[in-house]
Amino acid sequence: MKQKLIAGNWKMNGSLEANDALVRAVAAGMQDAKCDVALCVPAPYPAQVQMLKAGSKLDIGAQDVSQHAGGAFTGEVSAPMLREFGVRYAIVGHSERRQYHGETDAVVAEKAKTALAHGVTPIVCVGETLAQREAGQTEEVVKRQMAAVIHVNGHCISEIVVAYEPVWAIGTGKTATPAQAAEVHALLRKQLLAASAHAGRVPILYGGSMNAANAASLLAQPDIDGGLIGGASLKAPDFLQIIAAASA
């Protein structure tokens, strides 16, 4: 059985002082972890976290990556740049990027492709809004979003990470029930396996308000291979409790 992956997404939070305390506490508390752990930090901080995590099993992640490898793209951060700072993962297609920055399925697919080409593992986010769920469109939406990534990256789709993040459960305190989450994870697994016989090794994370209280019940479900953790990743005790649940 593959190890679970717990990835913290700090979003636009952090400071040199706060990061120091948080990373040191997480690194010290996860020494016996039996899962993979990553911290997806804002763009200014990979160098700091790289130094703080020395000697620990923590991996570094970015919250976004450009679809371009370099050039005249002011404000963008490329995958080769991230690799120089020891970044292993990059979130692509987070619902906040889709909503506030107009990222399309096609752009998300290209970002995943560029990340893979330069040794960065994309954490590809898919998920439906509340309106789409209530209209019975969950399957249609997540399959469309996933299909775009498979179409562009089919030859190496088994190298990605997927995160199912029901948009209605992000930062709202609402969470999909374990059964609701498992249903969508099973759907995504079937779609991935249809694209590649090796896609069984793709971790599919749950990313909708997983916290210390509900982590164990969610992580016990079939095809839920970890979590993409928002607010709880900013609190070392809560984040460590989720890591413990994934290590059980």
Q: Is 217 left (phi over 0), alpha (psi -120 to 50) or beta?
A: alpha
| Torsion angle in degrees (nearest 10) through CA of 74, 77, 79, 81 | 100
- What was the pLDDT predicted at 2? 82
In the numeric block, the tokens 């839920």 are attached to: 224
Q: Which residues contact 109 (CB under 8 A, 6 or more apart)?
A: 148, 149, 151, 152, 153
| Torsion angle in degrees (nearest 10) through CA of 233, 215, 205, 115 | 10
Catalytic residue among 94, 96, 103, 128: 94
- What was the pLDDT predicted at 170? 80
- Is position 127 annotated in a ligand binding site? no
Catalytic residue status for 96: no
- Is position 209 annotated in a ligand binding site? yes
Q: What's the token pair of residue 183?
A: 């249903």
What does each C-alpha distance from 182 to 140, 155, 223 come to in angstroms?
A: 16, 26, 7
- Is position 200 annotated in a ligand binding site? no
Residue-wise pLDDT for 8-60, tens only, equals 999 999 999 999 999 999 999 999 999 999 999 999 999 999 999 989 999 99
Compute the average pLDDT of residues 182-200.
96
- What was the pLDDT predicted at 1? 62
CA-CA distance, 140 to 63, in Å (whole number)? 26
Compute the average pLDDT of residues 229-234.
96
In what helix (H) or strand (E) does residue 121 lie, and over which residues does it extend? Answer: strand 121-126
Number of domains observed in the structure of the chain: 1
Domain with 43, as residue range(s), is 5-247
- Is position 207 annotated in a ligand binding site? no
Residue 116 in contact with residue 82, Cβ under 8 Å?
A: no
Average model confidence (pLDDT) for the chain?
A: 96
Catalytic residue among 96, 110, 128, 165: 165
Residue-wise pLDDT for 131-190, tens only, equals 999 999 999 999 999 999 999 999 999 999 999 999 988 877 777 899 999 999 999 999
- What was the pLDDT predicted at 174? 78
- Is position 231 annotated in a ligand binding site? yes
- What was the pLDDT predicted at 41? 98
CATH number at residue 77: 3.20.20.70
Catalytic residue status for 94: yes
